[in-house]
Chain A
């Protein structure tokens, strides 16, 4: 029986050193709400847990340059309770609110929701739509990567051995812009997204959509950024015709599977519905965000 070790480094450098030293048999322990279950079911058998919660900068929410830096170990509840962040990025908070129960969000982190690499992670499409960037630190230094490039497949990330996502950077929020995330689940809470849709859009003074980002979750092997869906909104007043094109583009981008949570057919249909409803909420929020 191999011994499972636990370390709680106080600096990022120590954390990176521990992770790189373990030759892939280490796991980052942030909130632990996915990791502990995977360990319990025997799906993973790490030899070292590196608890990153003692590294101060990973637990910070910092406003700066008009945007935000969220430490990767910030819990869901901390982010939800951050009034200014919630005002600027309500769609991201929509996503975070849906990560499990209050109990789970009391532990689960935004970085963990990303790095667990579930195609159905609720905060990820919202972060992708928001244009968030992951800051990554590893044995060979720091780099930045768009959130949509971090996950490459179920349970798989583009992180190299020893690399940690340390924070997520949210850009400045333009005037007349708004975001929203909606998901479909059979139950009202405590469920895994069958389809998730994040929409972030900006309007001009006439109410024409000038910029948009649309992302979908649970309809492919990872959360998708869907430029064609965004293109359906840009240049429109986000009217019924635009929404119909949005739904069609969203469905075209999906490559869902049949599984215990929903059929392929159902996911395709519902993706279009959810993305339109999310766009409607984002539109309302953009109209209200007029300075």
Chain B
């Protein structure tokens, strides 16, 4: 089966991979680039575990074809911490016990960062709306919402 040769930028690095037309960006990230931090929970865009940024836009990577990534910039969970420092969201998730099994955590962190980039001072309701595309079955979201609000406060320097 013919495969497409795709060139893209992932977490700032130039990458190349091969994929079949029907393969998703999620499959390309996980199986071709071995970036398994992005998770598949449903494959139908209903759980958000595969959330990544595509040219600065929050998307489900299971609903993007690998071939569509040609020339584009992708950010995944693997690029969230800078050097030794965790992103404030990552740190607050740890401090607020905002994760249990952790399978939804990469997607939720990516979505939370996208939310705070748009809205640095969200209300509780805005955080819940901003994360409504990310299912978590362990936490009841309580500590996730608290952690996002705490990270927002820290990032604002408040």
**Could you list which residues of chain A lie within 8 angstroms of chain B, going by C-beta atoms?**
1, 3-6, 8, 29, 31-33, 36-37, 39-40, 49, 51, 53, 75, 77, 100-104, 106-107, 188-190
Contact = CB atoms under 8 A, between A and B. Distances in A.
B103 to A, nearest CB: 16
29 contacts: A4-B20, A4-B22, A5-B21, A6-B21, A6-B65, A6-B67, A8-B70, A31-B63, A32-B63, A32-B68, A33-B60, A33-B63, A36-B64, A37-B43, A39-B22, A40-B43, A75-B57, A101-B45, A101-B132, A102-B130, A103-B59, A103-B60, A103-B111, A104-B45, A104-B60, A106-B54, A189-B129, A189-B132, A190-B46
Interface string B66-94: 01101000000000000000000000000
9 residue pairs, one from A and one from B, having the closest CB atoms:
A101-B133, A189-B132, A4-B21, A106-B57, A103-B60, A106-B59, A6-B21, A103-B133, A33-B63
Contacts of A188: 132
Interface of B: 1-2, 4, 20-22, 24, 43-46, 48, 51, 54, 57-60, 62-65, 67-68, 70, 111, 114, 129-130, 132-134
Nearest to B2: A3
Contacts of B46: 190
A29 B43 CA distance: 18
A100 B34 CA distance: 28
A33 B21 contact: no
A102 B122 CA distance: 16
Nearest to A32: B63
B68 A51 contact: yes
A36 B65 contact: yes
B1 A1 contact: yes
Given A3-B1, A6-B65, A101-B133, A36 B24 contact: yes
Given A39-B22, A40-B44, A104 B57 contact: no
Contacts of A8: 70
Given A36-B63, A188-B132, 7 more contacts: A36-B64, A37-B63, A101-B60, A101-B132, A102-B111, A103-B48, A189-B133
